[in-house]
Structure 1
């Protein structure tokens, strides 16, 4: 039986902000804006663009944490189900 391994989030570029590999078009769609608007933010309002990208990264980290928590619960259940050996 193979035990699940925990994920380690990796830094990503803005074009690949999540495990779903979101494109600029995908991110603009999620935000309800045109891709040109996102491009203009990147070029003319870099702080706003950075905040938006941090939001996407935060979502990715949160998803990863949730998956890891679920895996830890599974491992705990497996450990509790195994008979304990007395020394």
Structure 2
């Protein structure tokens, strides 16, 4: 999985995001799971990431650690529709 660029784990009843994903990852789609939090460590070193799809999860604003998406300079799309995130 050294050159893995796209990882689709939708509809798998995941409760949290996997850690230690390949550094080459550009697209992560984990919609329609049971994810309630996004830890900062999950995205550390994923500088090639362009797309993160988190929609349709019971995710809350308080479940996203400060700086979770920090350093992801190529990130251009984050989908959080159909979550419990409020402003």
TM-score by length of 1: 0.22
Q: Which has the higher helix share?
A: 1
Q: Which structure has the bigger radius of gyration?
A: 1
More strand by share: 2
